[in-house]
Amino acid sequence: MSSRAEQKRAAPLRFAVVGAGFSGAVVARELAEAGHQVEVFESRDHVAGNCHTRRHESGVMVHVYGPHIFHTQHERVWDYVRRFGTFKPYRHRVRAMVGEKAYQMPMNLGLINAFFGTNFTPQEAEAFVAGRADASITDPKSFEEQGLRLVGRELYEAFFAGYTRKQWGVDPKELPASILARLPLRFTEDDSYFNHPYQGIPEHGYTPIVEAMLDHPGITVRLSTRMPRARLAEFDHAFWSGPIDAYFNFEHGRLAYRTLDFEPEVVDGDYQGCPVVNYCDADVPFTRITEHKHFAPWERHDKSVIYREYSRLCGETDTPYYPVRLVQEKAQLVEYVRLARDQHGVTFLGRLGTYRYLDMDVTIHEALRVADVAKESVSAGRPIPAFVTDPLG
Ligand code: UDP
């Protein structure tokens, strides 16, 4: 006969999950599969957060909140997402406009030779770029220092400085070096945008994947429903993947985000022959043009949907996309993390819940960890922690 405490531990719990993006969907699924009851609250009228996809009347699958390409080094994540739908093989390719000329992006042998009008071998190109790089910068702190150290002034100014100023709205001297570390530098003709071993795009878009995750008898999804913080106390525990500052009613001010505006256009045929073209010049007002049908090269469409993408500071009623995380925001974040750690019964996760620039795969990886820790905590009779990954780390 088991003790009462053990019976209580084994009994199904009632969990609230706020946000039906990948973070919320993964946690909900994992806990439902462990036998618990989960209610998911989503303020928008659709699931999948900013990964949401929708078929346009032209038949083209549109990434409603901008380009999302699935790439990961985590086998666990790759296996996990493919349980919920088919991912088609996809290699992301980007071009970058500087002046009137299009270059391969990320920086590779083709870009270097086209930009400098040379015909370098890989070794020559590497030696050439090393000669232009600023070797006096040994420990790059800012985006600018990282760029100058990596590729030198000419390439930095042409491809990174203007784009980055438009994207982030500040001087790249103020941005962390980590943002540039997202992009590879190669001395081969490889023009694949990502290095990860597993890459793909869901055959029918991301939304059906998230819907399939949430399709479980233990999960109830409430769309167009804001969950007031006070009501979370009705549950045994809550998982909050909304903005961390919103949870605390912005008592330490609003954490800054960049938001995006899209200017859609429907055109005949093929507009740019590639999914994304970056516009690196500072005097072009948009950052990039996305041509959605190229995210599904296995489909054929006569029409094409393009989005011109503009970045600006996120207002109170806008959709947050990119956490800014400069000095002021980091100080605010410290305050919010302190409040969160003093809470009981709430775990914060995801891009908005931990205020970090996370890719989809990292979000899923962390959400699986959150679910693991939650299950371990429940079976050990311990409280579930406020964070599983340190947002300040
Ligand atoms: N970036 C740039 N020029 C480019 C592409 C990227 O300067 O042509 C910089 C820019 O600061 C951007 C960062 O690299 O924010 C990361 O780029 P990524 O393509 O990963 O951004 P995302 O697709 O997440 O917006």
Question: Which pLDDT score, from 0 to 100, does residue 11 have?
Answer: 84
Total residues belonging to the chain:
393
Task: Report the mean per-residue pLDDT for the chain.
Answer: 96
Question: Which pLDDT score, from 0 to 100, does residue 10 have?
Answer: 62
pLDDT band at residue 182 using 50, 70 and 90 as cut-offs: confident
- For a ligand 1 pocket test, name from 163, 286, 288, 325 the mutation site with the most ligand atoms within 8 angstroms of its C-beta: 163
Residue nearest to atom 12 of ligand 1 (CA): 164
Is 54 strand, coil or helix? strand
284-308 mean pLDDT: 98
Which atom of ligand 1 sits closest to the CA of residue 180? Answer: 14
Question: How far, in Å, from the CA of 39 to the mean position of ligand 1?
Answer: 36
Pocket of ligand 1 (CB under 6 A): 96, 105, 159-160, 163-164, 167, 179-180, 182-183, 278, 280
* Rounded distance between C-alpha atoms, residue 149 and residue 151, angstroms: 6
pLDDT band at residue 230 using 50, 70 and 90 as cut-offs: confident
Question: Which pLDDT score, from 0 to 100, does residue 7 have?
Answer: 44
- For a ligand 1 pocket test, name from 156, 164, 309 the mutation site with the most ligand atoms within 8 angstroms of its C-beta: 164
Question: Which pLDDT score, from 0 to 100, does residue 3 have?
Answer: 43
Question: Which pLDDT score, from 0 to 100, does residue 229 have?
Answer: 86
Is a pLDDT exceeding 70 seen at residue 40? yes
Question: How far, in Å, from the CA of 164 to the mean position of ligand 1?
Answer: 7
* DSSP 8-state symbol, 159: I
Is a pLDDT exceeding 50 seen at residue 184? yes
Is 97 strand, coil or helix? strand
pLDDT band at residue 228 using 50, 70 and 90 as cut-offs: confident
State pLDDT tens for residues 326-385.
989 999 999 999 999 999 999 999 999 999 999 999 999 999 999 999 999 999 999 999
For β-strands 101-105 and 276-279, DSSP reports them as: unpaired
Of 183, 164, 157, 186, residue with least CA distance to 99: 157
Kindly report the pTM of this predicted structure.
0.95
pLDDT band at residue 6 using 50, 70 and 90 as cut-offs: very low
State pLDDT tens for residues 97-111.
999 999 999 999 999
